[in-house]
């Protein structure tokens, strides 16, 4: 399945609604690599982009 095939729905505020195909790590413990990524990119990228890269909402 391609990312283009995934139906994305949004809340009224513009935030993506949880989708298990996009948010595959939602509800799991954070790995050390995830935390390092978050610390590295949280100040230079949009929170939505970082969340998608980490598979979280």
pLDDT digits (tens, 9 = 90+) for 5-27: 778 888 888 788 888 888 889 89
Residue 57 has pLDDT above 90, yes or no: no
- Residues 6 or more apart whose Cβ sits within 8 Å of residue 21: 1, 6
Residue 47 has pLDDT above 90, yes or no: no
- Total Cβ atoms within 10 A of residue 23: 17
pLDDT of residue 29: 96
Phi, psi of 32 (to 5 degrees): -60, -35
pLDDT bracket for residue 1 (50, 70, 90): low
Cα separation of 4 and 34, whole Å?
25
pTM of structure? 0.71
């Amino acid at each position: 399945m391609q990312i283009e095939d995934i139906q994305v729905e949004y809340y009224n505020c513009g935030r993506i609604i949880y989708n298990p195909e996009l948010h595959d790590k939602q509800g799991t413990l954070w790995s050390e690599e995830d935390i390092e990524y978050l610390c590295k990119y949280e100040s230079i990228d949009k929170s939505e982009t970082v969340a998608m890269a980490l598979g979280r909402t």
